[in-house]
Amino acid sequence: MTTTPTLTLDVARIRQDFPELSVPFHDKPLIYLDSAVSGLTPKAVVDRVSHYQSFEHTNVHRGVSTLSQEATDRFEEAREKVRAFINAPSAAQIIWTRGTTESINLVAQTFGRSKVGAGDEILLSAMEHHSNIVPWQLLAEEKGAKIRVIPMNDDGELILDDLESLLTERTRILGVTQVSNVLGTINPVKEIIRRAHAKGVPVLVDGAQGVPHLPVDVTDLDADFYAFSGHKLSGPTGIGVLYGRRELLEAMPPWQGGGSMILSVTWEKTTFCGLPTKFEAGTPAIAQAIGLGAAIDYIQGLGLARIAAHEHDLLAYATERCASVPGLRIIGQAKHKASVLSFVLDDIHPHDIGSILDHEGIVVRAGHHCAQPVMARFGIPATTRASFAYFNTREEIDALVSGILKVQEIFK
Give catalytic residue positions.
370
* Contacts for 371 with CB less than 8 Å, ≥ 6 apart: 127, 128, 129, 130, 180, 181, 182
**What secondary structure does DSSP assign to 208-224, as a single string?**
TTTTTTS---HHHHT-S
C-alpha dihedral over 336, 234, 350, 400, to 10 degrees? 80
Helical residues (DSSP H) of 96-188, grouped into ranges: 100-107, 113-115, 134-143, 163-166
Q: What track of x and - describes contact with ligand 7TS for positions 26 through 55 (by CB under 6 A)? A: ----------xx------------------
Q: How far is the CB of 157 from ligand 7TS (least distance, A)?
A: 16
Regarding 206 and contact with ligand 7TS (CB under 6 A), the answer is: yes
- Whose CA is closest to 183, among 160, 155, 207? 155
Regarding 152 and contact with ligand 7TS (CB under 6 A), the answer is: no
Stretch that binds ligand 7TS, among 55-63, 97-105, 187-195, 388-396 (CB under 6 A): 97-105
Nearest to ligand 7TS of 143, 365 (CB atom): 365
CA 231 to chain centre: 8
Regarding 17 and contact with ligand 7TS (CB under 6 A), the answer is: no
Instruction: Say how many CA atoms lie within 13 Å of 254 toward its Cβ.
Output: 21
Regarding 342 and contact with ligand 7TS (CB under 6 A), the answer is: no
Stretch that binds ligand 7TS, among 78-86, 318-326, 342-350, 364-372 (CB under 6 A): 364-372
User: Which residues lie across from 152 on neighbouring strands?
Assistant: 158
Q: Which of 196, 369, 374, 397 binds ligand 7TS (CB under 6 A)?
A: 369
State the Cα–Cα distance between residues 181 and 387, nearest whole angstrom. Answer: 9
Nearest to ligand 7TS of 9, 216 (CB atom): 216
Stretch that binds ligand 7TS, among 76-84, 164-172, 206-214, 395-403 (CB under 6 A): 206-214
Regarding 105 and contact with ligand 7TS (CB under 6 A), the answer is: no
Q: C-alpha distances in angstroms, 406 versus 33, 139, 250, 399, 401? A: 17, 47, 56, 10, 9
Q: How far is the CB of 278 from ligand 7TS (least distance, A)?
A: 21
Inter-axis angle of helices 100-107 and 134-143, to 10 degrees? 20
Q: How far is the CB of 241 from ligand 7TS (least distance, A)?
A: 11
Phi then psi for 95, rounded to 5 degrees? -105, 130
Give residues 130-149 in contact with ligand 7TS (rule: CB under 6 A): 131
Give residues 172-201 in contact with ligand 7TS (rule: CB under 6 A): 177, 181
Stretch that binds ligand 7TS, among 22-30, 41-49, 66-74, 93-101 (CB under 6 A): 93-101
Helical residues (DSSP H) of 63-132, grouped into ranges: 66-86, 100-107, 113-115
Q: How far is the CB of 37 from ligand 7TS (least distance, A)?
A: 4
Q: How far is the CB of 216 from ligand 7TS (least distance, A)?
A: 14
Q: How far is the CB of 225 from ligand 7TS (least distance, A)?
A: 13
Under 8 Å between Cβ of 182 and 342: yes
Under 8 Å between Cβ of 138 and 104: no
Stretch that binds ligand 7TS, among 22-30, 98-106, 109-117, 247-255 (CB under 6 A): 98-106
Q: Which of 35, 93, 125, 209 binds ligand 7TS (CB under 6 A)?
A: 209
* Sign of the dihedral defined by the CA atoms of residues 311, 132, 108, 118, in that order: positive
Q: How far is the CB of 63 from ligand 7TS (least distance, A)?
A: 32
- Whose CA is closest to 176, among 219, 220, 208? 208
Under 8 Å between Cβ of 176 and 206: yes
Regarding 288 and contact with ligand 7TS (CB under 6 A), the answer is: no
Q: Which of 41, 229, 234, 288 binds ligand 7TS (CB under 6 A)?
A: 229
Nearest to ligand 7TS of 121, 206 (CB atom): 206
Q: Which of 100, 109, 234, 342 binds ligand 7TS (CB under 6 A)?
A: 100
Instruction: Give the chain's count of helices (H) and strands (E).
Output: 15, 15
Q: How far is the CB of 207 from ligand 7TS (least distance, A)?
A: 8
Q: Which of 48, 61, 81, 129 binds ligand 7TS (CB under 6 A)?
A: 129
Regarding 101 and contact with ligand 7TS (CB under 6 A), the answer is: yes
State the Cα–Cα distance between residues 284 and 182, nearest whole angstrom. Answer: 31
Contact positions toward ligand 7TS, by CB under 6 A? 36-37, 99-101, 129, 131, 177, 181, 206, 208-209, 229, 365, 369-370
